[in-house]
Structure 1
Amino acid sequence: MKTIFRKILECVQQGQTVALATVISSKGSLPMSKRAKMLVFADGSIQGTIGGGMVEAQVIDEAQDVLQTCNARIVRIDLTSDQIEADGLTCGGTVEILVECFTPQSEPEVFEAILQTMDHGQTAVIASLLPDAEPNRNPAFPQHRKILIQHDGSSVGTTGSEQLDAAILKLAHPKLGQPFLKTCALNLTPSNPSRVFLETLLPPPTAYLFGGGHISSHLSNILHFIGFDYVVIDDRPEFLTHERFPEAKALICQSFEHIFDALTLIPRASYLIIVTRGHKSDQVVLMQALRTEATYIGMIGSRRKIHLMFEHLQAQGIPQTMLERIHAPIGLEIGADTPEEIAISIAAELIQIRRSGE
């Protein structure tokens, strides 16, 4: 998402016009993310995707018209059973896509604030005023149509109406810090109904990799692409290099004995991945990890070794409810064998946990 907003800002600052397509509602089985966004440029090229296929092709065509008129519109596509059969599709449903245009005359402050919010790992809500479902009733849609409601309650941007801005802020404030994605009605007056699309910006989750060996090295490459920040911890400095972990948020060289004292606060939206060089250090980290509220705790090891470790922990008085928090052996069961395959199985489990939490 960050690359999409950065490209919009770049285009506006360089005097180019660009269209942004955003999925604002979907029903049924559709081949797209609920948070899908796509940029369409004047030459017909795109950045990002809303799922490909006939839906994407139609939106690209619609976006070319939006680029000409600079009037935002909502594209509603209903993939009926007849269309599915005719085009050989395997999915069907209904989707609404907001297509809006940004020009060199568009004020960049909102996009600058969005990027700053994401860079600082803060929460926020993006509110997008929607055009009327019947374009002919609202041909002069305002250029100012996005507001960013920041984590401290302040806002950047305006719709051009103080009354409408106030209503949007009131609606958006309770959504700060929550996973939220919804089109909401703003019935200020019976004769002037408005709709706004609210989407929350949440900091990317952080994965803490305890152990800087081969599995962590391969896993870090995947984490970067699936939207995770990551921190690597090891007591061997030669394993903690920027060449091995170029996108690391931090590299921490310290003994595992009291590592969580150095990490201070572990946010709830954290994923603890225990892949040290030995079972002894795995257990040392695990005992500390269980005292956190981390969303995910995963530990590598064979089923036999893990069974023996759990028996030892139970003998030490660790309750079964705490042990049930541990994903061990770590990763989804896909028959992974090599470090690369194990890294993929771990990443798949992180995605599963993350999306089920939404």
Structure 2
Amino acid sequence: MSAYEIAAYIRKHDLPAVLATLINVEGHSYRKPGAVMLFHEGGTLGSLSPGCLESDLQLRTEEIWESGRPETVEYDMRTSDDFSWGEAVGCGGKIKVVLEPVRGELRRLLAEASTQMDGGKSLLLRRSRTPGGYAYSLEEASSVPQKRQGQRQYGRSDGDEAVFATPLVPKPRLVLFGAGQDSRPVAELASRSGFRIAAADWREGPLMSGFPAGERALCLPEEAPERLNIGSGDYVLICSHQLQRDRQFLERVIPRRPKYIGIIGSKARIGLLLDGLEKPESLHAPVGLPIGADGPEEIAVSIVAELIQVRRADNRLKQKGDDRVENCRNLFGGRAEHSDGGVQSFKEAVAGRRPRERRAR
């Protein structure tokens, strides 16, 4: 559960709630600094641990809500002979959590942030300690990559909770050109996997008959990129199955350099569609991971898996400096590499063989 979903909940529900933010970690932790969790009357959103801390935090929320004052809680689970946390702790580190009653200025700013994130803006919610709690401010994030920017802002190096911030980053947007029956499962699964959905079509029937999209553009193919303001952070899937219409849309969307362009169709059809066009680096055609998918639902799984692969690539591999996006398809406990730097392919993982040696560069 991200800060995006929590802010969206706050905007829609005017109910007592307490926000928990992990601001400092020493040693191992299930979640990283900046992770957030919401305690509300109906239950919880998100998590900060594998389940070992939430009940203790929950006990503190009523008093925090009634007092209207934030509280800082520290958990030290580094002692191996301390059995008070039970077997499920899975952390072994020291963490610091700030609990804040969601009321007044904090509630207002979270609701405002939710609206701005729906418009594609990335924000920072800053806190500064005051005698009565915190002073809050909301500002648009700079061009610094969101993950690294947020980590620098969570708290001071000594773990002081007096000044910290939470990055509020919108969900990436998936734009579907073509609102047919085979694109509906993609939209539904992508929405559940953390994407905002937009759809464009020149046919009113498919687009307006309950297609699961937050944004809709009923227009000619060549008008769609501008109508939806497609930009470099967007993911685009071309799936209208009309060669001429797809071509018209593709010609207009390529100059906008979206992060991902996927095309549904056979290699022969894609060849015709791309004839005479310069292939962008972000092109995935045919679309989807090669899992042998058959039928709309399985094809949707392969497509959304590829979307997630591209979305996670910057955080997981590019920061290492020497692996390409394609290596995300290699497996080792959710990572691309062994601790010795070798890369294990899917076939090697199934066969139980050692990974390939990394090529010298």
TM-score normalised according to structure 1 size: 0.68
Q: Aligned runs of 1:196-345 on 2, under 5 Å? A: 196-245=163-212, 247-254=213-220, 256=221, 258-259=222-223, 262-263=226-227, 265-303=229-267, 305-306=269-270, 308-309=271-272, 313=275, 316=276, 318=278, 322-345=279-302
CA 1:222–1:35 in structure 2 vs 1: closer, same or farther (change >3 Å)? farther
1:220 shift after superposition: 1.7
In structure 2, stretches of 5+ residues that fail to align are 316-361
Asked if the contact 1:21–1:97 (Cα under 8 Å) also holds between the matched residues in 2, the reply is: no
CA 1:328–1:42 in structure 2 vs 1: closer, same or farther (change >3 Å)? closer
CA 1:19–1:260 in structure 2 vs 1: closer, same or farther (change >3 Å)? closer
CA 1:83–1:299 in structure 2 vs 1: closer, same or farther (change >3 Å)? farther
Structure 1: how far apart are the matches of 2:290 and 2:30?
Answer: 25
1:204 partner amino acid: K
1:269 shift after superposition: 0.6
1:330 shift after superposition: 1.1
What residue in structure 1 maps to residue 55 of structure 2?
57
Cα offsets for 1:159-179 (capped at 9, x unmatched): xxxxxxxxxxxxxx7567844
Cα offsets for 1:125-162 (capped at 9, x unmatched): 111347xxxxxxxxx9632343212x3xxxxxxxxxxx
CA 1:174–1:208 in structure 2 vs 1: closer, same or farther (change >3 Å)? closer
Structure 1: how far apart are the matches of 2:176 and 2:294?
Answer: 19
1:79 shift after superposition: 6.2
CA 1:352–1:198 in structure 2 vs 1: closer, same or farther (change >3 Å)? farther
If each structure's strand is expressed as a fraction of its own residues, which one has the higher value?
1
CA 1:196–1:303 in structure 2 vs 1: closer, same or farther (change >3 Å)? farther
1:73 has 2:72 as partner: yes
CA 1:42–1:293 in structure 2 vs 1: closer, same or farther (change >3 Å)? closer
Secondary structure class of the residue paired with 1:214: coil
From 297, 301, 308, the counterpart of 1:351: 308
Structure 1: how far apart are the matches of 2:70 and 2:118?
Answer: 31
1:146 partner amino acid: Y
1:219 shift after superposition: 1.8
Cα offsets for 1:38-67 (capped at 9, x unmatched): 222479x32333354224334334545645
1:268 shift after superposition: 0.9
Structure 2: how far apart are the matches of 1:226 and 1:26?
Answer: 28
Asked if the contact 2:217–2:224 (Cα under 8 Å) also holds between the matched residues in 1, the reply is: no
What residue in structure 2 maps to residue 5 of structure 1?
7
Superposed CA RMSD in Å reads 3.9
Asked if the contact 2:64–2:101 (Cα under 8 Å) also holds between the matched residues in 1, the reply is: no
Structure 1: how far apart are the matches of 2:173 and 2:311?
Answer: 11
Cα offsets for 1:5-50 (capped at 9, x unmatched): 3555677x66x4x32112335577755576542222479x323333
TM-score normalised according to structure 2 size: 0.68
Structure 2: how far apart are the matches of 1:194 and 1:88?
Answer: 29
CA 1:63–1:27 in structure 2 vs 1: closer, same or farther (change >3 Å)? same
2:156 partner amino acid: A
Asked if the contact 1:38–1:46 (Cα under 8 Å) also holds between the matched residues in 2, the reply is: yes
CA 1:104–1:280 in structure 2 vs 1: closer, same or farther (change >3 Å)? closer
From 116, 132, 140, the counterpart of 1:142: 132
2:114 partner amino acid: L
1:19 has 2:40 as partner: no
CA 1:53–1:259 in structure 2 vs 1: closer, same or farther (change >3 Å)? same
Identity of aligned residues (%): 24
Structure 1: how far apart are the matches of 2:6 and 2:78?
Answer: 27
Asked if the contact 2:23–2:161 (Cα under 8 Å) also holds between the matched residues in 1, the reply is: no
Structure 2: how far apart are the matches of 1:339 and 1:82?
Answer: 53
1:181 has 2:150 as partner: yes
Cα offsets for 1:287-314 (capped at 9, x unmatched): 43332211111111235654x448x63x
Structure 2: how far apart are the matches of 1:107 and 1:198?
Answer: 12
Secondary structure class of the residue paired with 2:166: strand
Cα offsets for 1:191-221 (capped at 9, x unmatched): xx76422233334322210111123211222
From 45, 48, 58, the counterpart of 1:47: 45
CA 1:230–1:317 in structure 2 vs 1: closer, same or farther (change >3 Å)? closer
Structure 2: how far apart are the matches of 1:143 and 1:350?
Answer: 41
In structure 1, stretches of 5+ residues that fail to align are 131-139, 152-172, 188-192
